[in-house]
């Protein structure tokens, strides 16, 4: 008979026959009842006849041992005894159970599917090769002003890399949720990839130049590290506000982008070397300096950047989480301000939301567009992306999330057993070790009834234990 239904009505027929023969053997001691289950197509009957002949010979003619096998299966052109086989599902369950109990988690390569929500974790902070995905926690009801979104893209910048490297920890309560005030319709002219890079960059630039520095037409602004997405956006916003832009870059390629694509005067684009831009800015501003400095360089540039600022100007620190040493800076009636977008999002989402509205209006009006230097890669290459950003080979990369992308993830933890209250559960097959274990496992839930099907009368030793 076949378990796939070709030579029997259903798989249950085969299982019923197997169970029936096992009961007969139990009830009629000494009866040698041998069964053969055929679980594959056969080209002709001669093959199965040869198999049956061999089993008959071993079981009833030769009788090699006093105790012989009573159940056989024919599958994949081989006769097997169906007592022991590889159990991959149990192995995965065991691996997941070990991790759930605090043991080392086993990882595997899987394809992303919507049915299994995952989150990224770094097993060993600072070791990018230990990046992996793991099951997200149980879903909880959303708060009054929270929404749930489907992830399409992620922007990876230096802040994200520092968190992965264990150099900073900006995780706060609420990071996993998005406030309703920050939800906006995606501009029709932008893809998810462009929006992931541009919206955050332009929003930061708008807040820095308009809300903080209050930049006005005719003023001057120095934008450091103009090869990054945020600082490119700052150049564009500054030009839109009518300001005269000075910028620093790390290489000739970035300078070419500013000059040929963004229209910054070549004479106003400097190397990030301190003495270079400091002297150039002061020379072109008649020794006064610029009205606004947007800083994203390290503290070794702080004094020269401050010297490039005009009296009554505004110095905006864009490095979130960094504490600049401003004690040694001389007084020039200038403002020193730190802008941390992450903190604003968490504590002042309304301010960020209004800035996003302005940015989206500018995009829809065709006044600003996507960031030119944005690079996008599949989330399958997440480790490569983090390494690129950490080495400074690119300022920001957008990770694209596509169903079917292959990622490294932990073996899923076993799902909790769901037992319905006010229900009756039947445990067939007696109360041996397996049956007793099932009953004790079910007994952890109150208000349920358990019925056991026994071959022996109530009151026997096995039932009394339970």
Collect all residues with Cβ–Cβ distance below 8 Å to 417 and sequence separation of at least 6.
441
Over residues 210-235, the pLDDT tens digits come to: 999 999 999 999 999 888 888 899 99
- pLDDT at position 357, please? 92
Give domain status of residue 305, yes or no: yes
Q: How does 404-438 read in b/e, with b if 16+ C-beta sit within 10 Å?
A: ebebbbbbbbeeeeeeeeeeeeebeebbeeebbeb
- pLDDT at position 329, please? 64
Over residues 185-210, the pLDDT tens digits come to: 888 888 888 888 888 889 999 999 99
Verify that 273 and 186 share a domain, yes or no.
yes
Verify that 301 and 215 share a domain, yes or no.
yes
Of the residues 59, 80, 101, which one is the last residue of a structural domain?
80
Other C-beta atoms lying within 10 Å of the C-beta of residue 75: 13
Regarding beta strands 71-75 and 78-80, do their DSSP bridges make them parallel or antiparallel, or are they unpaired?
Answer: antiparallel
Give domain status of residue 99, yes or no: no
Q: What angle do CA 182, 404, 92 make, to 5 degrees?
A: 105
Q: What is the CATH number of the domain that holds 242?
A: 3.90.180.10
- Quote the DSSP letter at residue 62: I
Structural contact between residues 293 and 315, judged by C-beta atoms closer than 8 angstroms: yes
Q: Alpha-carbon distance 356 to 203, whole Å? A: 6
Other C-beta atoms lying within 10 Å of the C-beta of residue 219: 20
- pLDDT at position 237, please? 96
- Residue 1's pLDDT band, with cuts at 50, 70 and 90, is very low
Bridge partners of 271, per DSSP, are 249
- Please indicate whether residue 226 or residue 6 has the higher confidence score (pLDDT): 226
What radius of gyration, in Å, describes the C-alpha atoms of the chain? 35
Kindly state the average pLDDT of the residues 114-135: 87
For the whole model, what pTM was predicted?
A: 0.66
- Please indicate whether residue 217 or residue 413 has the higher confidence score (pLDDT): 217
Question: Both tokens of residue 97?
Answer: 């159970």
Helices (DSSP H) in 241-381: which residue ranges?
Answer: 252-256, 274-284, 302-307, 341-347, 349-364
Question: Both tokens of residue 362?
Answer: 């500018």
Give domain status of residue 448, yes or no: yes
Share of the chain above pLDDT 70, in %: 84
Q: What angle do CA 223, 294, 377 make, to 5 degrees?
A: 70
- The residue range of the domain holding 255 is 179-400
Kindly state the average pLDDT of the residues 276-298: 90
Give domain status of residue 343, yes or no: yes
Verify that 231 and 287 share a domain, yes or no.
yes
User: Whose structure tokens read 């229900």?
Assistant: 423
Structural contact between residues 132 and 409, judged by C-beta atoms closer than 8 angstroms: yes
Of the residues 80, 113, 137, which one is the last residue of a structural domain?
80
Give domain status of residue 2, yes or no: no
Indicate if the pLDDT at residue 20 is higher than 90: no
Q: Alpha-carbon distance 111 to 95, whole Å? A: 19
Verify that 443 and 367 share a domain, yes or no.
no
Kindly state the average pLDDT of the residues 432-438: 78
Question: Both tokens of residue 290?
Answer: 């610029």
Verify that 39 and 188 share a domain, yes or no.
no
Verify that 240 and 374 share a domain, yes or no.
yes
Give domain status of residue 254, yes or no: yes
Question: E strand or H helix at 121, and its extent?
Answer: strand 118-122
Structural contact between residues 303 and 277, judged by C-beta atoms closer than 8 angstroms: no
- Residue 320's pLDDT band, with cuts at 50, 70 and 90, is low
Regarding beta strands 131-135 and 118-122, do their DSSP bridges make them parallel or antiparallel, or are they unpaired?
Answer: antiparallel
Question: Both tokens of residue 8?
Answer: 């029997």
Bridge partners of 179, per DSSP, are 146
Bridge partners of 147, per DSSP, are 178
Question: Both tokens of residue 459?
Answer: 């009151």
Verify that 312 and 189 share a domain, yes or no.
yes
Q: Alpha-carbon distance 305 to 37, whole Å? A: 83
Of the residues 80, 96, 131, which one is the last residue of a structural domain?
80
Which among 140, 52, 121, 153 has a CA at the least distance from the CA of 398? 153
Verify that 221 and 297 share a domain, yes or no.
yes
- pLDDT at position 3, please? 45
- pLDDT at position 402, please? 87
- pLDDT at position 173, please? 43
Verify that 220 and 363 share a domain, yes or no.
yes
Verify that 362 and 307 share a domain, yes or no.
yes
Over residues 23-57, the pLDDT tens digits come to: 888 888 878 889 988 877 766 678 888 889 998 88
Give domain status of residue 270, yes or no: yes
Q: How does 62-73 read in b/e, with b if 16+ C-beta sit within 10 Å?
A: eeeeeeeeebbb
Kindly state the average pLDDT of the residues 66-92: 79
Kindly state the average pLDDT of the residues 248-276: 87
Domain count along the chain:
3
Give domain status of residue 361, yes or no: yes
Share of the chain above pLDDT 90, in %: 21
Verify that 217 and 342 share a domain, yes or no.
yes
**CA-based diameter of the chain, in Å?**
113
Collect all residues with Cβ–Cβ distance below 8 Å to 159 and sequence separation of at least 6.
168, 170, 320, 321, 342
Verify that 208 and 327 share a domain, yes or no.
yes
Structural contact between residues 463 and 437, judged by C-beta atoms closer than 8 angstroms: no
Collect all residues with Cβ–Cβ distance below 8 Å to 334 and sequence separation of at least 6.
306, 309, 310, 311, 312, 313, 314, 315
Regarding beta strands 397-400 and 153-156, do their DSSP bridges make them parallel or antiparallel, or are they unpaired?
Answer: antiparallel
Indicate if the pLDDT at residue 398 is higher than 60: yes
Collect all residues with Cβ–Cβ distance below 8 Å to 54 and sequence separation of at least 6.
79
- Quote the DSSP letter at residue 179: E
Bridge partners of 35, per DSSP, are 71
User: Whose structure tokens read 């800083």?
Assistant: 295
């Amino acid at each position: 008979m076949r378990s796939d239904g070709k030579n029997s009505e259903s798989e249950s027929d085969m299982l019923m026959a197997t169970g029936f023969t096992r009961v007969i053997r139990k009830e009629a001691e000494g009866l040698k009842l041998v069964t053969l289950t055929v679980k594959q197509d056969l080209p002709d009957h001669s093959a199965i006849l040869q198999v049956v002949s061999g089993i008959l010979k071993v079981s009833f003619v030769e009788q090699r041992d006093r105790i012989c096998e009573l159940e056989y299966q024919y599958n994949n052109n081989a006769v097997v005894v169906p007592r022991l086989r590889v159990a991959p599902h149990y192995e995965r369950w065991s691996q997941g159970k070990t991790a759930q109990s605090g043991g080392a988690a086993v990882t595997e390569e899987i394809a992303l599917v919507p049915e299994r929500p995952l989150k990224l974790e770094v097993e060993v902070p600072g070791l990018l090769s230990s990046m992996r995905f793991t099951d997200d926690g149980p879903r909880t009801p959303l708060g009054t002003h929270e929404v749930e979104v489907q992830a399409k893209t992620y922007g990876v910048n230096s802040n994200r890399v520092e968190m992965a490297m264990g150099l900073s920890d900006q995780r706060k309560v609420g990071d996993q949720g998005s406030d309703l005030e920050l939800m906006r319709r995606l501009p029709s002219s932008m893809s998810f990839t462009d929006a992931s890079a541009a919206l955050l960059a332009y929003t930061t630039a708008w807040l820095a130049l308009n809300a903080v520095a209050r930049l006005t037409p005719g003023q001057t602004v120095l934008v450091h590290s103009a090869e990054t997405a945020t600082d490119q956006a700052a150049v564009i916003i500054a030009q839109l506000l009518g300001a005269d832009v000075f910028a620093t870059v790390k290489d000739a390629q970035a300078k070419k982008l500013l000059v040929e694509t963004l229209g910054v005067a070549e004479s106003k684009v400097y190397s990030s070397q301190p003495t270079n831009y400091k002297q150039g800015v002061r020379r072109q501003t008649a020794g006064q300096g610029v009205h606004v400095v947007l800083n994203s360089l390290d503290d070794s540039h702080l004094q020269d950047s401050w010297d490039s600022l005009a009296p009554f100007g505004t110095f905006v620190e864009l490095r979130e989480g960094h504490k600049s040493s401003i004690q040694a800076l001389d007084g020039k009636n200038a403002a020193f301000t730190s802008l941390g977008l992450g903190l604003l999002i968490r504590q002042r989402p309304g301010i960020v939301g209004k800035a996003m509205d302005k940015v989206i209006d500018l995009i829809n009006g065709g006044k600003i567009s996507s960031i030119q230097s944005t690079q996008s890669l599949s989330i399958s290459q997440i480790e490569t992306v983090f390494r690129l950003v950490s080495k400074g080979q690119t300022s920001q990369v957008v990770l694209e999330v596509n169903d079917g992308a292959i990622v490294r993830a932990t073996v899923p933890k076993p799902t909790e057993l769901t037992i319905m209250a006010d229900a009756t559960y039947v445990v067939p097959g007696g109360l041996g070790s397996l049956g007793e274990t099932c009953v004790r496992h079910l007994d952890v839930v109150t208000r349920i009834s358990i019925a056991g099907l026994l071959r022996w009368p109530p009151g026997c030793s096995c039932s009394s234990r339970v």
